[in-house]
């Protein structure tokens, strides 16, 4: 329903996953009317799609975290959201949202409900086509899970370069670690209207102990300009301590190479050991050592709030330049440096300021050997 002023009272999308988030949000901004007794509404109808922004809207509350299948007990439960820039902020009650964003029509708070359904919820369809379910069951795995089970996590198998089940989860960093490296991957951009999903700046800390066990101890992330990224780098270095080796990527471009060297100099002047990483092989080839070590069962990961994003990126990695791979690059550089750095044994030098004294003990020298001369 639309009136002559371009204001919408009712918007209905069929196959909503074919549209972008920006399209949906724009139309939300046009939903208003002069009728006090009628509140504008939008309906989004679609099949599950892992790559859709809608999955991000519903996965943390409405979906089973393992299967991606909707939780029946939460069907139709109302939530509230506020869009801040390009970020959706979600709340479980209106009171919770109003405590942050204020009350009234100008607060910008909207309500949302997710009502899942499968073909089993459509008796007239199954009566008219009794073999419909069997036809869905004969589909390839991904399509069957999407269309029959309603799974939002159904997708083709990843490349197999990494699987999270290869890793042991631990509660804290490895106390037996002898070496630590923090590898960085830079992206000096922040989300904008033109580019809402830029790459991340990532810094990953991995340790190694005498048993050749590697522990992913920490991941820091940021999407911002150079000044703020540098602030994060220096503060993280201070928090890590001078025993941690820092890896800085050095891109082939002249300007990028000069910047990496300047950053290395400034970190060195603060007392930190910094290595430049020059990628000379493909991303997949560089990632292979970390993948092999993980598959062999020698990688631990500290339980933290960054785990989900970390595992998803590594499992999806296949070398495709269109996919995010910042954390994969950091893991590759950490493994490279951890196995390149030589740990020197500690020892104390003798005090050379004192004149050494020598004591020759009483010794009985043996008789010189007899020489047998033959003429």
pLDDT of residue 172: 95
Read off the pLDDT band of 32 (50, 70, 90).
confident
pLDDT at 375 over 60: no
Closest by CA position to 184, among listed 303, 331, 309 = 331
Residue, of 241 and 281, whose pLDDT is higher: 241
pLDDT of residue 151: 95
Check if the beta carbon of residue 6 is closer than 8 Å to that of residue 30. Answer: yes
Taking residues 200-223, report their average pLDDT.
Answer: 96
φ, ψ dihedrals at 14, nearest 5°: -105, 140
For the segment 79-102, what is each residue's pLDDT rounded down to a tens digit?
999 988 778 899 999 999 999 999
pLDDT at 373 over 70: no
pLDDT of residue 354: 53
The CATH class that applies to domain 164-338 reads alpha beta
pLDDT at 201 over 60: yes
For the segment 59-83, what is each residue's pLDDT rounded down to a tens digit?
999 999 989 999 999 999 999 999 8
pLDDT of residue 215: 98
**Distance, CA of 23 to CA of 28 (rounded, Å):** 9
Residue, of 253 and 299, whose pLDDT is higher: 299
Closest by CA position to 180, among listed 218, 204, 212, 206 = 206
User: Which range among 10-24, 208-222, 230-244 shows the weakest confidence by mean pLDDT?
Assistant: 10-24
Using a cut of 0.75, tell me whether the model's pTM lies above it.
Answer: no
C-alpha torsion sign, points 174, 235, 294, 59: positive
Taking residues 356-372, report their average pLDDT.
Answer: 47
pLDDT at 347 over 50: no
Q: How many CA atoms lie within 13 A of 29 on its CB side?
A: 7
DSSP designation for 31: B
The helix or strand, by DSSP H or E, that contains position 265, with its residue range, turns out to be helix 254-269
Closest by CA position to 237, among listed 214, 201, 270 = 270
**Distance, CA of 52 to CA of 18 (rounded, Å):** 8
Longest Cα separation, the chain: 137
pLDDT at 307 over 50: yes
Taking residues 317-335, report their average pLDDT.
Answer: 89
Q: Which residues contact 96 (CB under 8 A, 6 or more apart)?
A: 80
φ, ψ dihedrals at 344, nearest 5°: -80, 140
Domain boundaries, the chain: 10-119, 164-338
Q: How many CA atoms lie within 13 A of 348 on its CB side?
A: 3
pLDDT of residue 253: 59
**Distance, CA of 239 to CA of 231 (rounded, Å):** 12
**Distance, CA of 222 to CA of 241 (rounded, Å):** 20
Q: Is 216 helix (H, G, I), strand (E, B) or coil?
A: strand
pLDDT of residue 250: 86
pLDDT at 326 over 50: yes
Q: For residue 13, what are its two tokens?
A: 């999308």
**Distance, CA of 244 to CA of 247 (rounded, Å):** 10
For the segment 132-159, what is each residue's pLDDT rounded down to a tens digit?
999 999 988 889 999 999 999 887 765 6
């Amino acid at each position: 329903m639309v009136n002559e002023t371009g204001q919408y009272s009712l918007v209905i999308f069929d196959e909503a996953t074919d549209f972008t988030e920006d399209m949906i949000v724009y139309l939300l901004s046009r939903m208003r009317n002069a009728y006090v007794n009628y509140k504008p509404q939008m309906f989004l109808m679609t099949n599950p799609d892992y790559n859709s922004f809608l999955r991000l809207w519903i996965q943390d509350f409405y979906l089973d975290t393992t299967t991606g299948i909707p939780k029946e007990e939460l069907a139709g439960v109302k939530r509230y959201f506020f869009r801040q820039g390009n970020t959706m902020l979600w709340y479980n009650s209106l009171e919770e949202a109003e405590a942050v964003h204020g009350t009234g029509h100008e607060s910008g708070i909207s309500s949302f409900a997710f009502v899942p359904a499968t073909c089993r919820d459509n008796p007239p369809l199954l009566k008219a086509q009794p073999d419909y379910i069997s036809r869905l069951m004969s589909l390839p795995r991904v399509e069957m899970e999407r269309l029959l089970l309603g799974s939002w996590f159904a997708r083709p198998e990843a490349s197999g370069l990494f699987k999270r089940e290869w890793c042991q989860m631990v509660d804290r960093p490895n106390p037996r670690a002898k070496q630590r490296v923090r590898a960085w991957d830079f992206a000096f951009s922040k989300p904008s209207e033109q580019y809402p999903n830029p790459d991340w700046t990532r810094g990953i800390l991995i340790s190694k102990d005498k048993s050749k066990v590697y522990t992913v101890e920490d991941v820091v992330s940021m999407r911002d300009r150079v000044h703020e990224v540098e602030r994060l780098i220096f503060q993280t270095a201070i928090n890590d301590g001078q025993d941690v080796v820092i890896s800085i990527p050095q891109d082939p471009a002249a300007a990028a190479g000069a910047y990496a060297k300047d950053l290395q100099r400034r970190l060195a002047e603060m007392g930190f050991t910094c290595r430049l990483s020059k990628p000379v092989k493909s991303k997949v080839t560089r990632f292979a050592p970390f993948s092999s070590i993980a598959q062999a069962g020698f990688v631990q990961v500290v339980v933290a709030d960054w785990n989900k994003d970390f595992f998803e990126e590594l499992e999806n990695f296949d070398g495709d330049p269109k996919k995010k791979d910042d954390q994969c690059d950091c893991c590759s550089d950490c493994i490279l440096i951890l196995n390149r750095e030589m740990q020197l044994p500690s020892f104390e030098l003798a005090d050379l300021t004192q004149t050494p004294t020598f004591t020759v003990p009483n010794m009985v020298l043996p008789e010189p050997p007899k020489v047998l001369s033959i003429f």
